[in-house]
Structure 1
């Protein structure tokens, strides 16, 4: 599964790497709402949450569906500005239908890729937004009702919330991370100029790749969702984030310029395994006999005949299980004389839990 962005014929100058204060604020708000996703940010989330005034904390809770389980598209600007105020000004110029539609993406909805109509003009989407908000609590439900009844007033409320967050904690945070993010964006831009887009994309995240063939060019983002969009006539914006790991966001809604928010520095984050590889490995270790074989293989190297004798099964059956484990990259093999010895790759197995978590949170 993946999100594919068709960039066939897109001039390279339309592909931009640039930090965004609004996108970083969105990532920081998500980290505050879901600190368990961001163990590396524990000190920051704990300190910041403890310092929040109760009134501001309550307002953040009221609107947290915009950044808790997913990220509202308006928090990922395609034309980043130097300051949060400038990006909020851009939001003010967005029409109500588009703003409300993006703000009320309350879940990772299956309708996302198909360009669902705004709840302001579609009664079915209005009911769905209210149902999803109600499931999250009475305050969230009341907030959505207010947004649907009074979009301009609620938009002004959201802007004030962002400005109050900036004053309370984000301005200082942005000063500390802006230099790192700007440096990363410059590095990716220079890498794209010198070595090509494929190198820049791969450097941004091991979960992204540029595919090129006779059918065209595509940026493919490895995620547990299926989506497709094109950048024809617009462009693609890459937003580096210091608060985003392990998430890799790919804005691909119809009618929006594609935006990818990637965590930095990628090489320090130890890029996780592809989703298909994680699935293959989990299926491999889930079988009862392969779990039993792993008990021996974790302790040393064994031949097929030794394992067959230990577990009372035939050598061909052992070979079939070992083939599954080898295909998943869970075992290593070495030849000693006329014997082939197999051993569990403990480092790979140890990473399986974190790889799974990164896959589902990506």
Structure 2
């Protein structure tokens, strides 16, 4: 199966082209997304409930109307648009207000369509509005408003974000910031230790060995050696390749309310941005390959019978063979698949190894799969 992925080419591969940035604007929009799709963000249920209690019906209706801009395919300007040092929310909103209107329009259209098209142009054509109409009437209406008055559209959006923050974010931010600071400190330490290769530590990422690439810059290879760019590949639901260097850094932005989404934005002429879920002490989000291994391991009826047999108590291989009417080598092969998928615990007593099902791993398969699909 051909891998669907976003590939970053980092040149040079040191830490200097990867920067950690906390962003109140990015977290504000993560809050708005959790408000719009609370089923995706059960950990944000308390925030969503508090927000519904304080927002008036007008702000709630406006939040729902603008929601496609901070959906799964977020508008690029709702994440840091420059690599500058820590800024306030007001400072980030001023940066959005200063964007060339053509870039602002193109970033908005990308969010509405949900594609990384870079040839949409700075204006909305009839063809683009038709595409939006095929997606949803609400998105077509946003597009029509944008085409009629892009500067007015931007002013209304920024005004809403400021109003929403005053009511439902400014008190939340001080509690979120220490969590983001702790996670950012860990990322910065890892960057100092491993350079840009630290990006391969994300659950969705890998640094493949040297070999041919696919995508718009096919034929290039991972060049940690020989002075070539470092190649980091992220499992996503579309293919793209973006270059990162001293002039176009990669910003990694932790989020609390954005979990479990893993967002990569790579609009031309702006820093590449990765928004990831800050470590809150909960279970780590699995990689796409880990989820595949677990699902594949459970497709076999015999392995399902083994899972049932070792669910409540640890059992040795010989006893499992007796219970299932199989040979010990047959049972061992199936147990090895379950162990490789990290679905069983083992412990040894003398010369005997006992197996027990990891019930929590099984229970989490549903949420884990959703976490993969939400990326």
TM-score range, shorter chain: 0.7 to 0.9
Equivalenced residue count is 353
Name the CA shift for 1:108/1:62 in 2 (closer, same or farther; >3 Å): closer
1:247 equivalent in alignment to 2:261 = yes
Name the CA shift for 1:10/1:99 in 2 (closer, same or farther; >3 Å): farther
Match of 2:105 among 83, 95, 100: 100
In 2, the alpha carbon distance for the partners of 1:200 and 1:318 equals 39
Partner of 1:359: 372
Partner of 1:216: 229
5+ unaligned residues in a row in structure 2: which ranges? 209-222
Q: Tell me how far 1:32 sits from its aligned partner.
A: 0.9
Q: Tell me how far 1:73 sits from its aligned partner.
A: 1.2
**Contact 1:238–1:260 at 8 Å: present in 2 too?**
yes
1:268 equivalent in alignment to 2:281 = yes
5+ unaligned residues in a row in structure 1: which ranges? none
Partner of 1:56: 59
What is the SS of the residue equivalent to 2:12?
Answer: coil
Partner of 1:177: 176
**Contact 1:207–1:271 at 8 Å: present in 2 too?**
no
**Contact 1:78–1:237 at 8 Å: present in 2 too?**
no
TM-score (norm: length of structure 1): 0.83
In 2, the alpha carbon distance for the partners of 1:6 and 1:267 equals 29
1:336-347 equivalence runs, <5 A: 342-347=355-360
In 1, the alpha carbon distance for the partners of 2:290 and 2:113 equals 23
How far does the alpha carbon of each residue in 1:221-263 deviate from its partner, in whole angstroms, 9 at most, with x for none?
A: 3445443211133111112223222222111344442101122
Match of 2:75 among 57, 72, 76: 72
**Contact 1:224–1:275 at 8 Å: present in 2 too?**
no
Name the CA shift for 1:71/1:316 in 2 (closer, same or farther; >3 Å): same
1:324-339 equivalence runs, <5 A: 324-332=337-345
Q: Tell me how far 1:353 sits from its aligned partner.
A: 2.8
Partner of 2:361: 348
How far does the alpha carbon of each residue in 1:15-66 deviate from its partner, in whole angstroms, 9 at most, with x for none?
A: 2212112111111111111112222221111011221111111111111111
In 2, the alpha carbon distance for the partners of 1:26 and 1:350 equals 30
What is the SS of the residue equivalent to 1:5?
Answer: strand
1:120 equivalent in alignment to 2:133 = no
In 2, the alpha carbon distance for the partners of 1:152 and 1:230 equals 31
What is the SS of the residue equivalent to 2:308?
Answer: helix
In 2, the alpha carbon distance for the partners of 1:206 and 1:302 equals 32
**Contact 1:17–1:237 at 8 Å: present in 2 too?**
yes
What is the SS of the residue equivalent to 1:105?
Answer: helix
Q: Tell me how far 1:10 sits from its aligned partner.
A: 5.8
Q: Which moved more, 1:99-108 or 1:75-84?
A: 99-108
In 1, the alpha carbon distance for the partners of 2:113 and 2:231 equals 23
TM-score (norm: length of structure 2): 0.81
CA root-mean-square deviation:
3.1
Match of 2:10 among 4, 7, 12: 7
